[in-house]
Amino acid sequence: MRKKIVAGNWKMNKTLADGIELAKTVNRQVEENSVIVVLCTPFIHLSEVNKVITKDSLFLGAQNCSSEASGAFTGEVSAQMIRSTGADYVIIGHSERRSYYHEVDSLLNKKVKLALENDLIPIFCCGEILKERQAGNHIQVVKTQIKNGLFDLPVEDFIKVVIAYEPVWAIGTGVNATAEQAQEMHKIIRDLIADRYGNQIADNTSILYGGSCKPSNAKELFTNPDVDGGLIGGASLTSSDFMGIVNAFTEI
């Protein structure tokens, strides 16, 4: 059975004190059930947030890692360092990294491999911009991102990867993909994985939806057969919204 996951992406928000407070509240409210909850915090929060996590279903993640293993790369943070804080997950290829920091598929592929080498689970993001959807190229764009980012991984590595489909036009805009649009793309991604790695692997891959997911639409999105949870930005910054999304699974 593939895992149900709700991951919060705090982005560049929260002081250390505020982040610890939020993590404490989430830790208190998370129920030990079948949903995996991940807090993807800024780098500097990681080890402190790790100290407040006591629940077996709550995990820590970073939002990025370096494409280099170690050495003279001022300002960078390596996958090994992230792992050493107690984190289990790392977001790779978020659209903000792709667009503002010009991270291309080949670089993201290096990051995925370094994450895996250091026992981190990559949450690999893909998604089209509005122009690409309007031009009818969205399916091709997402397929290319996944092929280039992931498909040279051997099967024993690929099975560890979590995928997040995040249409860029839905991120932070308040306009989420409809349940139909999400399901359509998630199914396409799963079929693509099946072509490359086989049906069983595809069936076991968790594919999350991201982009203006909130308590009011989470249930409708998560009910779809190929939507296995969410990557949550804005709504992960308050415990009530975030837990509202996590708890949407219990209503399904």
List all residues 6 or more positions away from 179 whose beta carbon is below 8 Å from its beta carbon: 220, 221, 223, 224, 227
Does residue number 210 form part of the binding site for ligand PGA (CB under 6 A)? yes
Q: List the one residue from 39, 202, 232, 245 that touches ligand PGA (CB under 6 A).
A: 232
Helix 215-222 vs helix 239-248: crossing angle, to nearest 10: 20
Largest CA distance in the chain: 49
Distance CA 226, CA 188 (A): 9
Q: How many CB atoms lie within 10 A of CB 129?
A: 17
Question: Token pair of 75, please?
Answer: 């300002």
Residue 64 binds to ligand PGA (criterion: CB under 6 A): no
Tokens 């280039």 map to which residue? 148
48 is catalytic: no
Count of all residues that appear for the chain in the document: 252
Asked if 62 interacts with ligand PGA (CB under 6 A), we say no
Of 45, 94, 138, 186, which one is the catalytic site residue?
Answer: 94
- Give the whole-angstrom CA distance, residue 135 versus residue 61: 35
- Under the binding rule (CB under 6 A), the answer on residue 213 touching ligand PGA is yes
What is the nearest approach in angstroms of ligand PGA to the Cβ of residue 195? Answer: 27
Q: Is 94 a catalytic residue?
A: yes
Q: Which of 45, 138, 166, 186 is catalytic?
A: 166
Comparing every residue's Cβ against ligand PGA, the nearest one is 233
Part in contact with ligand PGA (CB under 6 A); list of ranges 12-20, 134-142, 183-191, 205-213: 205-213
Q: Which is nearer to ligand PGA, 229 or 233 (by Cβ)?
A: 233
Catalytic residue numbers read 94, 166
Contacts with ligand PGA, residue ranges (CB under 6 A): 9, 166, 171-172, 210-213, 231-235
